[in-house]
Amino acid sequence: MAKTPSVFAGRWRITSMEMWDQDFVDSEAEGFIEFGSDGSGRFQFSSVSGEIDCRFGTRDGKAGVEWSWEGSDEMDPVSGRGWAVMDGDQLSGFIAIHRGDDSKFAAVKTEKKLARPRPPGRRG
């Protein structure tokens, strides 16, 4: 896998998951996956959230990204893996929870920025 293609950088709104309906995906927060230019990222759907470590390149001749992740599901520690490819103007991919569920997903790019926590002692 290669350096970050700009096509992936940013926030993607999860629009569907094979295993769960959209109400479940968005039950805690709007489902998303986000890729940074430094190979880091994060995601959330329902109560599952995680920090990702990703690698960019190609998969089946399309721009692709693969990642491992660590996070939580209802406050229990979990980890897993995933991948996605560019399919027109959307992502099509797969996310798996180690020793748990897995699902195909689709996502579209969004301009919405994620709120970052402020450092302690700073006021906005």
Q: What is the pLDDT of residues 1-53, one digit of tens each?
A: 444 467 899 999 999 999 999 999 999 999 999 999 888 999 999 999 999 99
* Distance linking the first and last C-alpha atoms of the chain: 39
Dist. CA 64–CA 88, nearest whole Å: 12
Dist. CA 55–CA 48, nearest whole Å: 21
- Bridge partners of 119? none
Note the pTM of the prediction, 2 decimals. Answer: 0.82
Phi/psi at 89 (5° precision): -105, 15
**Residue 53 and residue 36 in contact, taking contact as beta carbons nearer than 8 Å:** no
Interior angle at CA 52, CA 16 and CA 113, nearest 5 = 65
